[in-house]
Structure 1
Amino acid sequence: MHRLTILPLVLLAACGGKRDGMPESFRDTDTPIYSNAVLDPAELEGTWTQAATFAPEAGGCKPGTVRFGRPDGGAIPVTADLCLGGKSQKISGRAAMPVPGRLVPESVGSAAVADGIGQAWWIVWADVDMRTLVIGTPSGEMGFILNRDGRLPADRLAAAREILEWNGYDLERLQTF
């Protein structure tokens, strides 16, 4: 009888953690995540280089880039080839901007998207001169740092890490390029 009482508890404990087929989260989703509400979308225009990403282990892929076009009618053209979660992911199309600091990709090719690179991007921080962006997702499935001009200086990397930690990200899994 004692074994019958403990067995359900052991089975319940085994259900925790990452489930097969489910994306891995790099943040504590019980921690609130915030987006930059004062961001001017026109300041995003241009090419950004990926300076860091979250991954389950070191390696996996090379840093990528994001190209934002000129905002038009509540959306912004975006083309990205990024290393996310240890895998290369691409997107090309438009991203709606329902509120400042949030980009919602409208499509990848001809298919609607809702996960991976296609989920909503929350710009959680941009430095005052718009040289560095920190982007995350409420799911925590991805998070990355973009920089306009090559290698990310130590002061902006430290600020970006602080913001990611404040938004619940596990900094031990942040890889810089």
Structure 2
Amino acid sequence: MVWPLSPEITGHIVSLLANPLTHINSKLGLAQYASVNRDWQARVEERSWATLRVKTGTPLNLDQFEKLTNDPRRQSYIRNIELIVELEPHDEAARAHLETESEHERSNQIFSEAIRSVLRIIVKWQANKPGTSLLGISLSIQAQYPSDLVASLNGRRQKKAAYAERTTDILSRRFEKNYLRLNAFET
């Protein structure tokens, strides 16, 4: 079914739908409207693919990211990639002590490999489109542990309990002496 709407009107409707205040907010968000028809799909994907949130885990698995971004049309929509590197989890006992040197080195390895892997995927995009450039894509990087307060839905409650109960959990101070380091890239 083709809707007799100009691309400008379709684009305006999609921009209204992109605002959570103008439609029923669901987990699918704007993406659910891509199935209306081909015209809508192009307009919706242009907006929904503009910013990608990529969360890695341990072990690192970026297969889905690579598969979904293999389409040159989708690649052309991407303007921002928010990379969230999930480091190895640590137990409650470990949260009572500063990070050890070996734990820190392992975190650096995971962090570096995640960044290298994402960059390898992005470089392949250019190979798919000879004569084009990937200018205009920003990459923001955040690292977190699964047990971090940032990653936790009940982080505020966890922090409050740690202070109230005087637990041995030193919370985010566990890492205050160490900064993640991007290991050298091998060419």
Q: Over alpha carbons, which structure has the higher Rg?
A: 2
Q: Does TM-score exceed 0.5, indicating one fold?
A: no
More strand by share: 1
TM-score normalised by structure 1 residue count: 0.24
